Amino acid sequence: MHAYALKRILQFIPTIFFITLIMFFLLNILPGSAAYLAVDQRKAPDPELIAQLEKEWGLDKPIHIRYLTYLKGLATGDLGKSFLRKENVSQILADRIRPTLELAFASIIIAVVVGLPLGFISALKQGTWIDTLSMIGAVSGISIPQFWLGILLMFFFSVQIRIFPTSGYGDGNIMNLVLPSLSLGAGYMALIARTTRAAVLDVLTMDFVRTARSKGLSEFLVNSRHVFQNTMILVLTTVGLQFGSLIGSTVIVEKLFSWPGIGSLLVDSIYQRDIPVTQGCILVIILIFLIVNLVVDLLYAVIDPRIKYQ
Amino acid sequence: MYLFFRNRINLFIGSTIVLGFILMAIFAPLIAPFHPVDDANLMVSEQPPDAEFWFGTDSQGRDILSRVIYGARISLSIGLVTQLINTIIGIILGVTAGFFGKWWDDLIMGLTSIMLSIPSLVFALAVMALLGPGLVNVFIALGLTNWAYTCRIARSQVLSARSLDYVTAARALGYNRARIMFEQILPNILGPILVISTLGIAYAILIEASLSFLGLGTQPPNPSWGGMLSNAREQFFTAYWISIFPGIAIFLTVLGFNLLGDGLRDVLDPHSVLKHQK
């Protein structure tokens, strides 16, 4: 188990390396355009000023040299300097990471707390109106665009009945967190409900469930001890894999709700062509995703002792 | 007809919605009462829905109904074309990886695991940051974003098909490897790929809407559903109809493709773990 954990953590390094490679070349392949765009567009571009900016930002060097400099900085936690603000990217990101993590984890909690029981009940009451209704809800939840759901929630809960604030972080006030995490978590909730239902229906046909019933266990014990534990693996896989699209969607939800996290920073940095910041945001988002998947992988072994890692 | 769709309610509703939107996109000029871009009339801006403008008008006095109808062209062409590109990339890489194995397989699997660890929307945003906003660039960005799932599925299908009798027979007949891969194996593994592609179309439409909502996708005055929603937050409280109808259009189209994908899975892939999904 410890060896496996260590191996998984070591696998991180090449993955991160290749991701930075792809992202760096993707974002830096156009030479000098950032400096060109940073100078005042209304006047004729001043070549001297552009050259000076390029020198300052290190854009005058060839791309592979810049990548090596970037990697060297990355190893020491230095992500470069923002083009527009004279700050270190790591400092800018550090201020933004907490709201994003709060938003993401609030969404997961909502999604799991609602989605898991919903899927479970649907499977046990298969074919009844509860099942039909919750599965209609689930497929709708997957199909609804988060930003549109967010607008609807905003309209009903903060304009019509004025329970929650429309947008903003509100210095960490929990009321501000409710609507963004609902719009972010709805699709995830729907996915968890569907997967849970499918997994439970699958497990219910298995021999050990029949054995448990035939030895006279109560329906409640069969469901809670045997069925639930065995469905967790499949559900956990979904939670881990789909977390990527959740953390990706923070971009939209944060922008909609003016949430001061990594996602809205990413969009703003793309508007402003502040490439070091864009790079930093993407790296942090992917890191969060990878870490969550690592935790999920390690949790498998805790939930299901049959899984042995070589 | 009735017998085929009986107990296949997903397939029925999904294909009906999808077919409806495809017809709407093709016949947009015949159905739409106004031109989506040119018929702007500031005298009638932000009109609520009435007999003349069924869905109301936007801030520039354009008919929302016409823009929603024309928007189907953008959303559907982006969904279908980009997913086609993804499917082709995924099939070529996945089939060859599963068939040849060895270092090629390791390389492709490494590449897909990297692609899968980058959230699709974030990757699409990075490509848009490189290329700049615009409709053509959306095609490129989404065409490169979502092939990894198809690739994984194609590969695993080929791995299990590789040792089956019909492949051994084809080898014994002396068929070359390209013919075995794409003429013998491919048609037998298309079912699961079709399912994942249908769901991929839904996903691509959602991502395009998101990019356009952020102002980084299809640019105005093109009637893209996502783009029509980009000012929705400010407008919703004064003129709800501007954002409610494009939102419903996105929702229904995505729902249609999702139901169609689920329905196809029930028909084509009955052994799937997710067979009980409704």
Mutation pick from A125, A143, A188, A288 vs chain B, by most beta carbons of B within 10 Å, is A143
Q: Write out chain A residues lying below 8 Å of B129, CB-based.
A: 27, 270, 273, 275, 278
Option in B110, B119, B255 nearest A143 (CB)? B255
Sign of the CA dihedral running B47, B53, B56, B57: negative
Q: Which of A30-34, B99-103, B116-120, B203-207 has the highest mean pLDDT?
A: B203-207
In contact, A101 and A288? CB cutoff 8 Å: yes
Cβ pair A251:B275 closer than 8 A: no
Is A267 close to B202, i.e. CB distance below 8 A?
no
Nearest CA in chain B to A140: B255
Decide if A78 contacts A36 (C-beta within 8 A): no
In this prediction, residues A183-194 reach a mean pLDDT of 90
Residues of A whose CB is below 8 A from B117: 15, 19, 244, 286, 289-290, 293
pLDDT at A75: 78
B contacts of A152 (beta carbons < 8 Å): 247
- Counted across chains A and B, CB pairs separated by less than 8 A come out at 147
The owner of tokens 């739409």 is B32
Q: Give pLDDT, residue B7.
A: 67
pLDDT of amino acid A107: 92
Burial of A49 (0-12, 13-18, 19+ CB in 10 A): middle
Chain B CB contacts of A247 below 8 Å: 119
Per the CB < 8 Å rule, is A151 touching B277? no
Q: Which of A26, A197, A244 sits opposite B127 (nearest CB)?
A: A26
Contacts of B120 in chain A (CB under 8 A): 244-245, 248
Quickly state the pLDDT bin for B252 (edges 50, 70, 90): very high
* Helical residues (DSSP H) of B60-144, grouped into ranges: 64-100, 102-116, 120-131, 135-143
Determine the residue among A118, A270, A271 to mutate to test chain B binding: the one whose Cβ has the most chain B Cβ atoms within 10 Å: A270
The residue assigned the tokens 């069969």 is A222
Residue A110's pLDDT band (cuts 50, 70, 90): very high
Inter-axis angle of helices B64-100 and B240-268, nearest 10: 30
Contact B236 A154 (CB under 8 A): yes
- Lowest pLDDT segment from A101-110, B83-92, B173-182: B173-182
Give DSSP secondary structure letters for B24-73: HHHTHHHH-SS-TTT---GGGTTPPS-SSSTT-B-TT--BHHHHHHHHHH
Q: What is the mean pLDDT of residues B34-63?
A: 76
* pLDDT on residue B176: 85
Mean pLDDT, range A32-37, rounded to an integer: 60
Query: Would you give the DSSP letter of residue A88?
Result: B
Does A27 sit within 8 Å of B240, measured CB to CB? Answer: no
- Report how far residue B42's alpha carbon sits from residue B58's, in angstroms, rounded to the nearest whole number: 9
**Each residue's pLDDT tens digit, B181-232:** 888 888 888 888 888 899 999 999 999 999 998 888 888 788 888 888 887 7
- Evaluate whether A194 touches A187 at the Cβ level (below 8 Å): no
Q: How far apart are CA A274 and CA A254, in angstroms?
A: 19
Chain B residues touching A18 at Cβ < 8 A: 110, 114
Distances (CA, A) of A250 to A107, A277, B67, B227: 10, 17, 28, 19
Q: Does the reported pTM lie above 0.90?
A: no
- Identify which of A140, A151, A251 has the shortest CB distance to residue B232: A151
Q: Average pLDDT over chain B, rounded to whole?
A: 84
Side-chain-side CA neighbours of residue B94 (13 Å): 28
Q: What is the pLDDT of residues A200-222, one digit of tens each?
A: 888 878 788 778 777 877 777 77
pLDDT at A43 (0 to 100): 59
What's the pLDDT at A7? 78
- A143/B118 CB distance under 8 A: no
Q: What is the overall mean pLDDT for chain A?
A: 81
pLDDT score of B274 more than 50: no
How do residues A40-53 score in pLDDT, each as one tens digit? 555 566 677 777 77
Q: Among A7-11, A263-267, B138-142, B157-161, which stretch is predicted with the lowest mean pLDDT?
A: A7-11
Nearest to A202 among B121, B259, B273 (CB): B273
Residue A258: list chain B partners with CB under 8 A: none
> Does position A269 have pLDDT exceeding 50, yes or no?
yes
Tokens of B200: 């991929």
Q: How far is B189 from chain A (nearest CA, A)?
A: 23
pLDDT at A20 over 50: yes
Enter the tokens of residue B47: 């009109």
